[in-house]
Structure 1
């Protein structure tokens, strides 16, 4: 066979290949919901590309696959958030596992473990006390200013702009300090829960009961 004949034969085979593949590929039907009714076709129109649909074998009539509808931008964003949260939960669990292992190696007793939290609880307790003191101080100062302004109005005298501005400033500071106090108190409550959780995990790992200094008093 000459080179020319070989090339002609190869070209003919390449031309026949797509047709042969098309004959062997099983035909499918697509079924989807459109305006409240079920529609089936062997070709998927552009307006149904993003719709949920079933794929059915034209030869057997059996369902061969199912494709969900395309997600909206909000759903994709929510899915991304949920995926990120799963990753964070997995990382947190791994961190917790390593922390548990480190506790067994680092602390000989529950009292040693408790001392780790002393600095944190002291700082948060000081923040709570300071915030509470500031709230009381700001409230008393604001009440005094309001009383003075009220007395001036009752006496028929106008409230000076400087005093009015001072009242507004004190009130804004009081609102911010109250929020700060609430934040510190929330941190303190969460710290108590964290400490109790870690101590319980430590007791479970070591098989120990609460230390004598921390055991609850017996009921008479």
Structure 2
């Protein structure tokens, strides 16, 4: 493995195709050149070290010298949790919009009774219930893990030792993950309440369209 700074890497890429023509075509086709940043320094190598796997990097073909891939850096635990939250929210928002469209456009012609209308919401309710249970489990698990980490750190300090940087970092990361899951849980709980209101509102609208709900008549003032 060789590692070179960016100024050398640029020259290397320019002369690489001519140099590699003299090598066997089978070996050249399999080789890559990886380039990534370490602080302010640009590093290029024909092998990717283990400590650079999670870095953002460019991958160049050793055969042509052209970039053929651009790999983003690995996400942190907190970023993965945020992405999961966003994906779950997008799924629920899409399902909510689809449900509203179906109920408004075909409420009278599609649903013969209230039970048929209720089934439209059943899939959304199931997804939301599953997300809620998962978030509840994650909160309980992360809280238990955080308590264990804090207890270990406390025992270390009581014994006259110092909490290691790695241990303190793990506590901070676990706390951030717990807060993220708590926000997600609160969001799902709010959505569950909103869905109940939406279901009841749709049922009332359905009854009105079917002529099943009594019309509120304004109270009349008795003649004096």
Query: TM-score by structure 2 length?
Result: 0.48
